[in-house]
Structure 1
Amino acid sequence: MSSQRKSIPDSPVPQVRTRRVFYIPGYDPIHPRRYRELYRKEGAAQAAISGYELKLNARKGTVIGRYGWSVTGNMDGTEVAAEVDVLVWSDIVRSSMSHTILATYLQLIRTAWTYIASGALFRLMRLRKGPVIAALYPVGFLLVQLFLAIAVGYALFCGVLALWGVVSLPGAVAQLFGAGLGIAAGYVLLRWFKARDGKFYAYYLMHDYAYAARHGGANPPALEARMAEFADEIAHALTGVSDEVLIVGHSSGAHLAVSILADLIRAGRVCDDGPALSFLSLGQVVPMVSFLPGAHRLRADLAYLSQSGALTWVDVTAPGDGCAFALCDPVSVSGVAPLRKRWPLVISAAFSQTLSPARWRELRWKFFRLHFQYLCAFDRPGDYDYFRITAGPMTLSQRYAGRAPSASRIERAVNKYTSIAA
């Protein structure tokens, strides 16, 4: 085994007949079956648009605690069999979410203080406004909810006091009754907002940012343990007969994948003559973590992976995705780019071009949906096609051989914290 190997030759001849795909989701408490159904629905739509065949089958003999499916793709005259595994950490996500309103507001205070006091928030604003606005949204909307609850409660309190003069209630009784009624009404309103968070996403996003900030950018012990398990699964696949092992990290799953792959390569668990190792990061939010003072591990892993010859790393974002740091090179903007940096290849999914005008108008203001567009069909597909990448006959290296990075990418170092030593 070796921690480095030569880059895969950029051969125009398709060489993939079998592939293992490991998908690492972002901060998502939902059961991973949603990703299977999304793949089934959107894959069928893309196959119809692009004129290839794609068939999804349930996996037989699924191991408890793992979730995945089998895919057969017939593209460019080549049949490819792919096994897709979702590396599940939704249980950790659920356990990290505060279930009470008070706890969520305490999270708000702690998280806002972490990003403001460290200066990370102001430096992030120098990259892309979209994800920073997305980060501020739950703070602002939760404060609006609190203000409305206080306003309703105070109005009822004043109403009771006004009524006191009419019915001649004792002053102390009126004040206690008014205060109790006001507090109850305010709480009911807050509960109403929380019950409808599936539409507002304020609580969900607050939990997401609070989880990243909780340890100042370091991974919690439970997550580190789960990442070690993920590394073992990927290492096992790298000893198999597949032609390519593809790791897909979406949203915050991208920075988990960075650390997992860096650990594997450092430990010499990537064979020189094994399957091609590929890493596709989608809609990444790496700076939200790497800009925090305690993210020593992530910054070290970014620097290490960016110069490794053991894999191919392509980073795909789109300016239309307001939840991602679009076209921000995660290594360079984090201030840890080494002299021999070779990865990632930063390209744009260009939603405004790869979606028809009608489709773009339909989705443009659906920010959360657009953050998942990378996993969906494009009715005007360009060189990014999630289903060709996961079930097609080319490795990631072959598919993007000779592809120039996006000219509008951001590579300037913005991060204040560049230490990679814990």
Structure 2
Amino acid sequence: MTGLGPRETGQVRRRRVFYIPGFDPLQTRRYRQFYRVEGPRQAAISGYALEVGAKPAGMAHGWTVTAQVDGEEVRSEVEVLAWADIIGGSMRRTVAATYGQMLRTAWIYVASGALFRLGRLRKGPTLAALYPVVMLSLQAVFAALAGWGTGRAVAWVLPGWAGIALGAGLGLAMVWAVLRAFQRLDRRFLAYYLMHDYAFSAGLWGAYPAVLEARMAAFGARIRAALEEDWDEVLVVGHSSGAILGVSILADLIRAGLPGRGAALSFLSLGQVVPMVSFLPEARKLRGDLAYLSARDELAWVDVTAPGDGCAFALCDPVAVSGVAGEGKRWPLVMSCAFTQTFSPERWRKMRFRWFRLHFQYMCAFDRPGDYDYFRITAGPLTLRARFAGRAPSRSRIERALSGYRSVA
């Protein structure tokens, strides 16, 4: 074993974790809180020790983790690769602009045929994509009825042309007021939020916006710098649409050539929504990156979803369903964290209809964790490759190529 590094031994004492959030304007606050609360809880359930510390010097958003797992002490540094400012900028739209965005996004998915193909893949995330369209439409109908009722009431009280004119003006004001009220209450409905999410991904028919490409290049530089340092493992975690970013960042990083140091490079994708973009006609770069990354030995890639997560394409191999799986395909290892088995029956009854919360469960504690334990992966003594070596992929995974667009950049 002399001279062998962590790539060969699978042993980790020092780990650098890069977490790429999905489309979430609250990125930097939410994820440290998840880890700070859920990590010790999982440790208590599973019989190991875990302590979350302060942000390391020189890191914009992150925290340290010290863990005692299976008799081994491991220190990890977790950095959130934040793009909340880009998300916040894309969400600052007027009510009228959001409705215009809704019509354009719906047209992109319908005209490209992607919506119908996604529906054949998984009904849950397709219905989630339709939800903001239906909810915003219902809000518009409600606002229109309120405006019409206001106009009719004014015209009844004040007969004649003056009443009609005043009623029309007050009716339009009521429409605007109701729509603005719904926008302010969107933390309850999430219609505007989800509409902005899908519109951002589909805005260029699947191509990456220039501002996001620049941020991804900066993220890649951060990961490369870590690979040049003295870490045993550099682990990239991509959640939801953050998994899409992770695919392209890592593909570009490997194409450019990895540093010669011995750190193991790992990629964990959680609750991925890759087909929402890879099924669009201009997503050629993403499809090319999926094909490239799936055949590389420089990294290990594990994709974790759960059928109980209605916002993710559960157990859908993102490479295969996008139609770009080649003969040399090695990754990802597709597996389920099976909420019905890893939650206690009592907790599952409470959680099963909290769809948005379940989409974030991958970074939280489980009552009865199986092979998947987020905190063992990010703070334990084994690399991702070693932890899942010999593990068979889920038998119920979906690999049928359903994308109508398979050209690559």
Shared fold, TM over 0.5: yes
Aligned pairs for 1:53-202 within 5 A:
53-63=49-59, 66-164=60-158, 169=159, 171-202=160-191
Given the alignment of the two structures, is residue 19 of structure 1 paired with residue 15 of structure 2, yes or no?
A: yes
Separation in 1 of the partners of 2:74 and 2:14? 6
Which residue is 1:3 aligned to? none
Give the TM-score normalised by structure 2.
0.97
Query: Paired residue for 2:249, among 257, 260, 263?
Result: 260
Matched, 1:37 2:36: no
C-alpha distance in 1, partners of 2:56/2:77? Answer: 11
Range that drifts further, 179-188 or 280-289? 179-188
Aligned equivalents of 1:355 and 1:398: distance in 2? Answer: 26
The runs of 5 or more residues in structure 2 that have no matched partner are: none
Measured in 2, the distance between the counterparts of 1:128 and 1:31 equals 27
**Deviation for aligned residue 1:39:** 0.4
Measured after TM superposition, the shift of residue 48 of structure 1 is 1.2
Q: 1:31 Cα deviation (Å)? A: 4.4
Deviation at 1:374, TM superposition (A): 0.1
Q: Deviations over 1:256-277 (max 9, x none)?
A: 0000000010011243x42000
Q: CA deviation at 1:163?
A: 2.4
Q: Alignment RMSD, CA only?
A: 1.4
* Aligned residue type for 2:134: G
Equivalent position of 1:327 in the other structure: 315
2:310 alignment partner AA: G
1:351-409 Cα shifts (integer Å, max 9, x gaps) = 11100111111111111100000000001111100000000001101111111100000
Paired residue type of 1:198: R
CA contact (8 A) 1:334 1:413 kept: yes
- Partner residue in 2 for 1:417: 405
Deviation of 1:60 after TM superposition, in Å, equals 4.1
> What is the identity percentage for the equivalent residue pairs of Structure 1 and Structure 2?
62
Task: Choose from 164, 187, 210 the match for 1:221.
Answer: 210
Q: Secondary structure at the match of 2:121?
A: coil
- Aligned to 1:58, the other structure's residue is in SS state coil
Which residue number in structure 2 is paired with residue 251 of structure 1?
A: 240
Is this contact kept in 2: 1:264–1:270, CA < 8 A? no
Distance 2:234 2:315 in 1: 25
Letter in 1 for 2:345: P
Structure 1 residues 126 and 7, CA, compared in 2 at 3 Å: closer, same or farther?
Answer: farther
Match of 2:138, SS state, is helix
Deviation at 1:49, TM superposition (A): 0.8
Q: Deviations over 1:250-305 (max 9, x none)?
A: 0000010000000010011243x420000000000000000000000000000000
Q: Deviations over 1:295-347 (max 9, x none)?
A: 00000000000000000000000000000000000000000001110100000
**Partner of 1:268: helix, strand, or coil?**
coil
In structure 1, runs of 5+ residues without a counterpart are 1-5
- Work out which of the residue numbers 377, 381, 392 in structure 1 matches 2:365: 377
**Counterpart code for 1:41:** V
8 Å contact 1:313–1:344 — kept in the other structure?
yes
**2:337 aligned residue:** 349
Amino acid aligned to 1:214: G
Distance (whole Å) between structure 2 residues aligned to residue 174 and residue 244 of structure 1: 73
What amino acid does structure 2 have at the position aligned with 1:173? A
What is the letter of the counterpart of residue 406 of structure 1?
A: S
Corresponding letter in the other structure for 1:351: F
Deviation at 1:7, TM superposition (A): 11
Partner in structure 2 of residue 392 of structure 1: 380
Mapped contact 1:7–1:309 kept (Cα < 8 A) = no
Aligned ranges for residues 272-351 of structure 1 at < 5 Å? Answer: 273-351=261-339
Aligned-partner Cα distance in 2 for 1:31–1:407: 33
Take 1:326 and 1:7, find their aligned partners in 2: how far apart are those partners?
Answer: 31
Counterpart CA distance in 2 for 1:34 and 1:384 is: 21
Structure 1 outlier segments of 4+, above 4 Å: 6-9
